[in-house]
Amino acid sequence: MHKGMITKTRFLFPTFAVVGCMLAVTMLVVYLPAAIAAKKPMEKAFPSSEKCKRCHLRVFEEYEASAQSRSIVTAPFRMTLERYLAKADKKDQAMCFQCHAPHIAEYPELLPRFIKEVQSKDPHMDGVGCPQCHLIHDVDAKMHPPVPTFQLGKTIFGGYDKAAENLAHQSEKLELFRDSQFCVTCHDSLPQTSQAAKDLPGWLGDWKTSETEKNGQPCQSCHMPEAVAESANGEKIRKVANHSFPGRFGKVRAEAVELDFSTSVKGKTSQVDVTIKSLVPHNLPLPHPGWSRVVVDLAIKGKNLKTVYSEQRFYQRVFGGVDGKETVLDFEAKKVLQDTLLKPEETRIEKFTFPTPKDAPSMDVVVTLTYAPVHGPKDFLKAIEQDAPLGQKDRAFQTVQIAQKKTNVLLKK
Ligand code: HEC
Ligand code: HEC
Ligand code: HEC
Ligand code: HEC
Ligand code: HEC
C-alpha cells in the first residue's frame, strides 16, 4: 500500500508536469507573439530622429538646431531633475519625462535608463524626437499634466492629406497636428502630478479667447511657419512646416511686442512712460522653468553717454513653496506669490521717474526688453555652471534681447 501510494504520486507528478508544460507551451505559442508585438523594444517603436534624416533632411536640420531637440540635454534640466528626484515619491519619478521625453508613457519600466541617459550628458535617445511627436494619436487632457497617447505601428501621423507613398512608413492626416491642443499638451501645465496643482494657473494664460486663436491661427502658425520646399528628399515642392521651433531664440522674436515711450522733463525730475503691447496670444514669458523672466530695462545716459540712472522691472511668476518662501523650482510650488507676466495681447504701461541729468545738453533714453538669464539660490546656479560643458558661457546664463528703442531728448537749461 505504502509502495503503491508512492508509485501513484510518482506517476501523478510527471503527468501533471507534462500537462502543465503542454498548457504553458500552448499559452506561450498563443499569447507570446501578441505580447511581443504589443511591446516592441523602445528603439524600434521610437527610432532615433537620425532614421528620419535619410529622407527628411531639411526638416531634420531645422529640428536639430531647435530647443525641442535639447529637451533632455541641458545643464539646467539635469540639475533641476536631480533636485526633483531627490524628493519625489517613487510613483511620481517619471513626471518630468512626460513632456521632456514623452515615450516614457509606453516604457515606464525603463525609467532608470531614462535617468541614466540624462545623467550621461550625451543621451543616445531623443527626448522630443520626430516619432515622439509623429506617433501621437490622441491627448488625454483630463490628466494633469495631459498625457499624449501613442499609436505605435507603421503609420506616421501629420498634417498632410494623402502624403506620397514611401518605403519607410504609411502616412495619415490628423487634425490634431494643425490644432493648438497638440502643443498645449506639453506647454501649459505646472509640473506636478497632484490634483492640487490643477488649482494653480497654467502657463499660457487665456490663449483660447485671444484674437489670434479666434482668427484661426494656432500655435503652429507662428512657431512652425509655413515654407515651400521638398517635404522629403526628391519629392515635389510643397508647403512644409518649419521645424526649428523659433521661440526665445529665432525669428519669431521680432514680432513679440510693440515698444514705444514718451518722455517729459519737468525741471529736476523727468518721466518716461513706456507702452509695451504684446502681440502674442499667450503669457510672456511662459513661467516654466520657474526662473523664467523678462526684464524691462530703462537706462538714462547723460554726458559722454555715461549711464546716470537705470531701473529694471520683471515680468515673471514668483512661486511660493511649502514653507511659503520663494522658490524657482516650480515642482515645489504651493502658491503664486506674485504674477507680473505680460498677459495675452495685453498692453502694459510702465511709468518711470528719475532725476533729470545735470550739466548735460541732452540725455539718451534707452528701453530694452530681454529674456533674463537663469537666477535662483547661489548653490543652484553654481551647480548648473559646474555641470555645463561651457560653464558660464552656457545659454542659460545669457540674456536674449526681445526689443529695444532709444531716443535723444534735448534738455533746456
Ligand atoms: C507639462 C509638461 C512639462 C513637464 C511636466 C515638465 N516640463 Fe520642463 N519644460 C516643458 C516645456 C514645454 C519647456 C519649454 C518652456 C518654454 O521655453 O517656454 C520646458 C523647459 C524646461 C527647462 C528649461 C529649458 C532647459 O532644458 O534648460 C527646464 C530646466 C525644465 N523644463 C525642467 C523640468 C523638470 C526638472 C521637470 C520635472 C520636475 C519638468 N521640466 C517638467 C515642459 C514640461
Ligand atoms: C514637437 C513636435 C514635433 C516634432 C519634434 C517634429 N514634428 Fe514634424 N510636425 C509636427 C507638427 C505639429 C506638424 C504639422 C504642422 C502643420 O501642418 O502646421 C508636423 C509636420 C511634419 C511634416 C509634414 C509637413 C507639414 O507641413 O505638415 C513632416 C514631413 C514632418 N513633420 C517630419 C518631421 C521630422 C522628420 C521630424 C524630426 C526631425 C519632426 N517632424 C519632428 C510636429 C513635430
Ligand atoms: C524612405 C524615406 C522616408 C523615411 C526613412 C521617412 N520618411 Fe517620412 N515621408 C517620406 C515621404 C516620401 C513622404 C511623403 C511626402 C509628401 O507627400 O510630400 C513622407 C511623409 C511624412 C510625413 C507627413 C505625413 C502626413 O500625412 O502628414 C511625416 C510626418 C513624416 N513623413 C515623418 C517621418 C518620420 C518621423 C520619420 C522617421 C521615423 C520618417 N518620416 C521617415 C519618406 C520617408
Ligand atoms: C511632447 C511634449 C511637447 C509637445 C507635444 C510640444 N512641445 Fe514644444 N517643447 C517641449 C519641451 C520639453 C521643450 C523644451 C526644450 C528645452 O529647451 O529643454 C519645448 C520647446 C519648445 C519651444 C522653444 C521654447 C523656447 O524657449 O525658445 C517652442 C517654440 C516650442 N516648444 C513650440 C511647440 C509647438 C508650436 C508645439 C506644437 C506644434 C510644441 N512645441 C509641441 C515639449 C513639447
Ligand atoms: C501670433 C503668433 C503666436 C502664436 C499664435 C503663438 N505664439 Fe508663442 N510666441 C510668439 C512670439 C512672438 C514669441 C517670442 C517672444 C519673444 O521672444 O519675445 C513666443 C514665444 C513662445 C515660447 C517661448 C518663449 C517663452 O516665453 O517661454 C513658447 C514655448 C511658445 N511661444 C509657445 C506657444 C504655444 C504653445 C502657442 C499656442 C497655444 C503659441 N506659442 C502661440 C508668438 C506666437
Question: Domain boundaries in the chain?
Answer: 45-241, 253-410
H/E run at residue 327? strand 326-327
Residue nearest to atom 13 of ligand 4 (CA): 68
Q: What is the 290 CA–ligand 2 centroid distance (Å)?
A: 28
Which atom of ligand 5 is least distant from the CA of 369? 18
Which residues does ligand 3 sit against, CB inside 6 Å?
Answer: 47, 51-52, 54-56, 130-131, 134, 156, 158-160, 163-164, 166-169, 171-173, 231-232, 235, 238
Q: What is the 166 CA–ligand 3 centroid distance (Å)?
A: 7
Grid cell, residue 275, equals: 507702452
Query: What integer pLDDT is reported at residue 412 of this predicted model?
Result: 75
Query: What integer pLDDT is reported at residue 93 of this predicted model?
Result: 96
Question: Between helices 75-87 and 111-119, what is the axis angle to 10°?
Answer: 140
Query: What integer pLDDT is reported at residue 35 of this predicted model?
Result: 47
**Residue 400 CA: which ligand is closest?**
5
Q: CB-based burial of residue 48 (10 Å sphere; 0-12 exposed, 13-18 middle, 19+ buried)?
A: middle
Query: What integer pLDDT is reported at residue 356 of this predicted model?
Result: 95
Q: What is the 410 CA–ligand 3 centroid distance (Å)?
A: 61
145 upstream amide cis, omega within 30 of 0: yes
Query: What integer pLDDT is reported at residue 193 of this predicted model?
Result: 87
Mean pLDDT by 10 residues, the chain (413 residues): 38 45 47 56 96 95 95 98 96 96 96 98 96 96 88 94 92 96 95 86 94 93 92 89 90 84 95 97 97 98 94 98 94 96 97 94 96 97 98 95 95 76
Q: What is the 48 CA–ligand 2 centroid distance (Å)?
A: 15
Residue nearest to atom 39 of ligand 4 (CA): 183
**Residue 163 CA: which ligand is closest?**
3
Residue nearest to atom 32 of ligand 2 (CA): 59
- Ligand 3 pocket test, candidate residues 103, 169, 230, 236, most atoms within 8 A of CB: 169
Q: Is the CB of 180 under 6 A from ligand 4?
A: no
Query: What integer pLDDT is reported at residue 143 of this predicted model?
Result: 84
Query: What integer pLDDT is reported at residue 19 of this predicted model?
Result: 47
| Fold of the CATH domain 253-410 | Immunoglobulin-like (2.60.40)
Query: Taking phi first (over 0 means left), then psi (-120 to 50 degrees means alpha), and beta for anything else, what does residue 304 get?
Result: left
- Contact (Cβ atoms closer than 8 angstroms) between residue 127 and residue 100: yes
Query: What integer pLDDT is reported at residue 8 of this predicted model?
Result: 38
Query: What integer pLDDT is reported at residue 38 of this predicted model?
Result: 60
293-314: string of b/e by CB count within 10 Å (b at 16+)? bbbbbbbbbbeeeeebbeeeee
Match 507573439 to its residue by C-alpha cell. 33
Q: Is the CB of 288 under 6 A from ligand 5?
A: no
Query: What integer pLDDT is reported at residue 413 of this predicted model?
Result: 62
Q: What is the 280 CA–ligand 4 centroid distance (Å)?
A: 16
Query: What integer pLDDT is reported at residue 111 of this predicted model?
Result: 98
